[in-house]
Amino acid sequence: MGIRDREDRLQALEDFISKNGHATFKQLATRFGMSMNTVRRDLDLLVERGAAEKVYGGVVANPRFRSYLPYTERSASHHGEKIRIARAAAALISPGDIVMMDSGSTITELAHHLDPSITLTVISNSMSVVARCAGAPAIRLVALGGEFLASADGFVGTETLAMLSRLKADKAFFSATGLLPVDNGIINAPSLETDIKRAMIEAAAQVFLLIDSSKFGTVAVHSVAPFSAVDVIVTDRRPEEAFLDVFARNNVHLIVAEGETQ
């Protein structure tokens, strides 16, 4: 069985456990036509990824785990909060900046709030960001090509990373699937997108993480970067003290975008 087939099976198991809240080994073996040994091996992986927790005879869903949603669903989720975050982040961009923007849905919202009269260079792998910035005459646009990943609304892969390796930026704006209150707590679900985020962080003089408050305490699969790699976090609500302690320890400046969304 190929990697893709196994990942599809793991996703089906994760979806079933998430929907039902729990499952026994026998139930999963019968439901998916798998041997008990295969079930146990696959569940070990889901437990390792944080999607489930083992109990006697089976597993229960981890309520803190955030599975990767399609871009259209992510874009609609917590939209008001993303607008407030985007407005605050747009105020951090200065005329003449070279700005990298990833394919996160909050970053797309940022593109909609850029001042069209400010002269900028925007570098992005996001289809939506590219489409938005293409109509702004003051913006010099560098579109990163590669393999288009519809679930991310962006381009990923070796070609995208090769282009990024030749570029530098004043500022990078990216998002993530979740945050945990540990030094290496910036996490993301899909590995292909995670590689792009890491490359943008490496290429920029200043790094800005835009993330709505629903993602604090959420578990995902891949570590993107330590908090020490980030200069500023923009969110919509002040997080709990455990996060504030981690931010202070890593010299991260926190901006809370308050106020009502119009």
Quick: pLDDT tens for 58-94.
888 776 655 555 556 655 567 889 999 999 999 999 9
Q: Mean pLDDT over residues 231-260, rounded?
A: 93
Q: What is the pLDDT of residue 4?
A: 43
Here the tokens at position 53 are 């927790």
Which band of pLDDT confidence, cut at 50, 70 and 90, is reported for residue 149?
confident
251 vs 223, more confident: 251
3-class SS letters over 12-77: HHHHHHHHHCEEEHHHHHHHHCCCHHHHHHHHHHHHHHCCEEEECCEEEECCCECCCCCHHHHHHC
| Element counts in the chain: helices (H) and strands (E) | 10, 15
Which band of pLDDT confidence, cut at 50, 70 and 90, is reported for residue 229?
very high
Q: Mean pLDDT over residues 44-67, rounded?
A: 74
* Sole residue written with tokens 């139930």: 27
In degrees and rounded to multiples of 5, residue 182 shows phi and psi of: -135, 160
Q: What is the pLDDT of residue 221?
A: 65
Which band of pLDDT confidence, cut at 50, 70 and 90, is reported for residue 205?
very high
Q: What is the pLDDT of residue 261?
A: 41
16-25, 67-76, 105-114, 240-249: least confidently modelled range: 67-76
Q: What is the pLDDT of residue 177?
A: 87
Q: CA 179, 223, 58: angle at the middle one, nearest 5? A: 80
Which band of pLDDT confidence, cut at 50, 70 and 90, is reported for residue 251?
very high
Q: What is the pLDDT of residue 56?
A: 76
CA atoms of 79 and 82, how far apart (whole Å) = 5
Q: What is the pLDDT of residue 220?
A: 67
Here the tokens at position 87 are 């407005």
Q: Looking at the predicted structure, is the pLDDT value of residue 30 above 80?
A: yes
Q: Mean pLDDT over residues 156-162, rounded?
A: 94
Q: Looking at the predicted structure, is the pLDDT value of residue 138 above 70?
A: yes
Beta-carbon contacts of residue 52 (< 8 Å; ≥ 6 apart): 14, 17, 43, 46, 59, 60, 61, 62, 65
Mean pLDDT of the chain: 87
Q: What is the pLDDT of residue 3?
A: 36
Domain annotation for the chain: domains and CATH numbers: 3-61 (1.10.10.10), 71-256 (3.40.50.10470)
Cβ atoms within 10 Å of 115's Cβ, excluding its own: 14
CA atoms of 216 and 81, how far apart (whole Å) = 14
